[in-house]
A and B are shown apart, each in its own frame.
Chain A
Amino acid sequence: MIPEIGHYALINALCLAVILAVLPAWGAWRRNTTAMSLAPGLAVGQLVFVAISFACLAAAFLQDDFTVKVVASNSNSLLPPMYKFSALWGNHEGSLLLWALILCFWTTAVALLSPQLPMQVLSRVLSVMGGIAVGFLSFSLFTSNPFERLLPGSPVDGSDLNPLLQDPGLIIHPPLLYMGYVGFSVAFAFAIAALLGGRLDASWARWSRPWTNVAWAFLTLGIMLGSWWAYYELGWGGWWFWDPVENASFMPWLAGTALIHSLAATEKRGLFKSWTVLLAIFAFSLSLLGTFLVRSGVLTSVHAFATDPARGMFILLFLAIVVGGSLILYALRAPAVSSRVSFAWVSRESLLLFNNVVFLVATLTVLFGTLFPLFMDALGQGKYSVGPPYFNAVFVPLMALLAPFMGLGPVSRWKGDTVARWKGELGISAAVAVVCGLTLPLLGADYNLWVALAALLAAWLVLGLVRDAWYRVRGASSLGSGLRRLTPSYCGMLLAHLGFAACVLGVVATSQYNVERDLKMSPGDSETLAGYTFEFVELAPVRGPNFVADEARFRVTKDNELIATLAPQKRRYLASGSVMTEAAIDAGLFRDLFVAMGEPIGSDGAWAIRLHYKPMVRWMWLGAILMGFGGFATALDKRYRRQRRTATASAQGVLHGA
């Protein structure tokens, strides 16, 4: 009965979405206040019904209702309850419902948190989001119904959740990632509403900026969690594989990064309006494209969902309508003549422009590289693979090119600045950064030029930011009052840029100084790696809730001092019989020690063991967390919550929009 309620609620949600897509937009066009005033209510109603539907599916999972097909194929009665719940989105149908739920959540958030928005704009925005909901809800209902029953012939027990997904990281990774993906729909809806209304001005940028920053922050955290999960769960210590599915989430992030910077220029200076709108469309289009790539099976990936050409066709059609439609609207309505705002060569504007150049090229390269095998196949040129060596070869120089300018951006002035002032502001930072670049790698195992470059760039970024923040704070009566002078926007930028520096340092240090050994070890053996002695103490059988495992117990010592005891496992899951490697990691700020078990060798109790020494690997994720928090912080800025826009802002907007 419960699944039927869920199904019915989903149908109701679709009906409301159709009304939401049509009625407020019509109201905005005809200036019909009644039609427009219905929009927030419809958005809330839509959320309520999708939430009911979601709760019903969750109930089916938690109650082991194996008459429901997705439950039968993705859950098992032995599964711990929290994984039964997260199994909901460990499959195509359920994850699509999560997509829809999050979309409705964003729609409702926009409806309720935008009192300052003119009614017409709000109606158009909500209608666009309703239109997107129509697409996803009908995708769910017509091609991937999560409530499909297996009657008669339902199994006694389910065939279990893929053990790889039985992990705390995977409980929160998809929701965060989708919050980001779907969050870009808000920026998209604002862009479309602005094109429809013909008013592309600074106020439009101001309205969509906090939403975009928050969505970007979620996406950053989501990607970070995915990378972290791959690191500890896949069992070989890698953290980024440039797999098509990873790229599918990375492309919107890259485009989104360009967008949040371009929005800054548009909001503050009324610049690059057409370009910013295009980026907003681009970022969300890449989210949709990612959904297509993951669920249509056109590319081979480790993480792909079970695929079905009918579903692929549906998303492609939806993609064509949404992206094609918005690009037609863009071509017809975007301002063709650029505004007459001017700025000098040396100015914050030109640095933001450079940021956009780098991130656009990065996005397009990842897109092209990801789709290249498909292009070649479609043209009958044979089968090709494009993998990490290609993406790294392209990506590393691009980021190296970005960083020097990134250090200048936050300290530069709008409109025009002078090289002389830059020299005065950053001369000392530059000198100290060079010293850091020359000396910091000495702390590593050997002097490494890549690490030197990374240290130089990271120090350049950090010192410039710290000095700038200090100059803003100093002179205040106390440190507290000085810190209060910094706006949330500024703090957010500071955090995000510091996070980027940490990320660069972590990625380079761990790739260059990583030590990895595959060894044959028996209980009693010990091995020394990067100064750490790993002693294989004993092998013991252990039993988990739904698996049995062999556990290897290690003592790690350095200079005869106990550092950690590590217990990697080789698990066999009872329901599916699949075998999994559970790595054991001793995490630290400056190094991770990683032990994973391979196969038993021979009959004398020896095992193949992989030992890793990974310096500074955490910096990468800590950096991503800082970036995410930075994104959230910017949205707290008071200027986004002002009820009434100041006359100046609106006048400027009209002027620049002219």
Chain B
Amino acid sequence: MNRFCVAALLLMSCFVMPAAAVIETYEFSNEELEQRYQDLSAELRCPKCQNQNIADSNAPIAQDLRKRLYQQLEGGASDGEILDYMVARYGEFVLYRPRFSGATAVLWLAPVLLLLAAIVLALLVLRRRKDSGERTGGELSVAEQQRLHTLLDESESGS
């Protein structure tokens, strides 16, 4: 029961947080670093919140991570080094852009494979439709014409 209360409290606090937009005023030594800061903080997930990046979250942990991100950028770390640093401490979970690996290969390849499969299927459909089109010249065959007339008559008299 206690645990549930704690969890509920955490949940509440995280839900209310988003509205208190995070605005911090780090002074960067150049604009490129500031841009990288914005990009990276948008791609790192706050480990504790519901579903927010560290740029948007006001949770204490997100503040700490932003501070560390700032320090690392000013310290000259590369993007790769910073991401490795975060993953070593908080796991793959912190990356909103999962890194390509054996486990995530299916995620990154799925759209391409799906698109290829769908295009192949569509082309098969097209080819079949075109064949039948050539056979009947795109028009109704004699038998079909007759059938249409019968049906028309039927429905005329039926309605």
Does chain A touch chain B in the assembled complex, meaning CB atoms less than 8 Å apart? Answer: yes
Is there contact, CB below 8 Å, between B25 and A608? yes
Q: Is B32 an interface residue (CB 8 A)?
A: no
A402 to chain B, nearest CB (A): 11
Selected from B19, B119, B148, the residue in CB contact (under 8 A) with A655 is B148
Q: Which of B42-60 contact A (CB under 8 A)?
A: 42-43, 45, 49-53, 55-56
Is there contact, CB below 8 Å, between B20 and A385? no
Is there contact, CB below 8 Å, between B16 and A599? no
Q: Is A26 an interface residue (CB 8 A)?
A: no
B9 to chain A, nearest CB (A): 13
Flag B12-27 by CB within 8 Å of A: 1 or 0 each. 0001101111111110
Q: Is B85 an interface residue (CB 8 A)?
A: no
Complex CA distance for A234 and B130, rounded to whole angstroms: 53
Is there contact, CB below 8 Å, between A301 and B155? no
Q: Is A644 an interface residue (CB 8 A)?
A: yes
Q: Is A350 an interface residue (CB 8 A)?
A: yes
- Measured between beta carbons, the chain A residues less than 8 angstroms from B21 are 234-236, 581, 583, 596, 598, 610
Q: Is B61 an interface residue (CB 8 A)?
A: no
Is there contact, CB below 8 Å, between B23 and A302? no
A149 to chain B, nearest CB (A): 21
Complex CA distance for A177 and B32, rounded to whole angstroms: 41
Complex CA distance for A382 and B99, rounded to whole angstroms: 14
Name the residue of chain A whose CB is nearest to the CB of B98: A384
The verdict on A415 contacting B103 (CB below 8 Å), with A342-B133, A519-B25, A578-B16 known, is no
Is there contact, CB below 8 Å, between B133 and A343? yes
Complex CA distance for A572 and B15, rounded to whole angstroms: 15
Name the residue of chain A whose CB is nearest to the CB of B45: A385
Is there contact, CB below 8 Å, between A164 and B18? yes
Name the residue of chain A whose CB is nearest to the CB of B136: A342
Q: Which of A156-201 contact B (CB under 8 A)?
A: 162-164
Q: Is A605 an interface residue (CB 8 A)?
A: no
Is there contact, CB below 8 Å, between A364 and B22? no
Number of interface residues of B (CB under 8 A): 63
Q: Is B2 an interface residue (CB 8 A)?
A: no
- Measured between beta carbons, the chain B residues less than 8 angstroms from A597 are 23
Q: Which of B23, B26, B110, B130 has the most CB of A within 10 A?
A: B23
Is there contact, CB below 8 Å, between A651 and B155? yes
A573 to chain B, nearest CB (A): 9
Q: Is A434 an interface residue (CB 8 A)?
A: no
Is there contact, CB below 8 Å, between B96 and A388? yes
A146 to chain B, nearest CB (A): 20
Complex CA distance for A596 and B18, rounded to whole angstroms: 13
Name the residue of chain B whose CB is nearest to the CB of A646: B155
Is there contact, CB below 8 Å, between A353 and B122? yes
- Measured between beta carbons, the chain B residues less than 8 angstroms from A302 are 15, 18, 49-52
- Which stretch from A58-66, A81-89, A368-376 is at the chain B interface? A368-376
Is there contact, CB below 8 Å, between A365 and B114? yes
The verdict on A343 contacting B129 (CB below 8 Å), with A354-B122, A394-B111, A651-B151 known, is yes
Name the residue of chain A whose CB is nearest to the CB of B27: A520
Q: Is B89 an interface residue (CB 8 A)?
A: no
Selected from A386, A598, A652, the residue in CB contact (under 8 A) with B23 is A598
Is there contact, CB below 8 Å, between B132 and A581? no
Selected from A235, A338, A369, A579, the residue in CB contact (under 8 A) with B128 is A338
- Measured between beta carbons, the chain B residues less than 8 angstroms from A576 are 16
The verdict on A644 contacting B144 (CB below 8 Å), with A164-B18, A382-B103, A516-B38 known, is no
Complex CA distance for A599 and B119, rounded to whole angstroms: 52
Q: Is A476 an interface residue (CB 8 A)?
A: no
- Measured between beta carbons, the chain B residues less than 8 angstroms from A381 are 103
The verdict on A349 contacting B129 (CB below 8 Å), with A369-B107, A383-B91, A390-B98 known, is yes
Is there contact, CB below 8 Å, between A647 and B152? yes
Is there contact, CB below 8 Å, between B22 and A353? no
Q: Is B126 an interface residue (CB 8 A)?
A: yes
Complex CA distance for A5 and B111, rounded to whole angstroms: 51
Complex CA distance for A369 and B111, rounded to whole angstroms: 10
Q: What are 27 contact pairs spanning A and B, CB under 8 A?
A: A162-B15, A163-B16, A235-B21, A301-B50, A302-B52, A341-B129, A342-B131, A342-B132, A343-B130, A344-B138, A353-B126, A357-B122, A361-B111, A361-B115, A365-B111, A382-B93, A384-B103, A385-B45, A385-B93, A387-B96, A388-B96, A389-B43, A416-B138, A583-B21, A597-B23, A647-B152, A651-B154
Question: Which 6 interchain pairs have the tightest Cβ spacing?
Answer: A598-B23, A387-B96, A342-B133, A235-B21, A389-B97, A608-B23
Chain B residues within 8 Å of A, Cβ to Cβ: 11, 15-16, 18-26, 38, 42-43, 45, 49-53, 55-56, 91-98, 103-104, 107, 110-111, 114-115, 118-119, 121-122, 125-126, 128-136, 138, 144, 147-148, 151-152, 154-156, 159
Given contacts A364-B114, A390-B96, A398-B111, 12 further A-B contacts (CB under 8 A): A234-B19, A342-B131, A357-B118, A383-B92, A384-B103, A385-B45, A387-B96, A610-B21, A644-B159, A647-B152, A655-B147, A655-B148
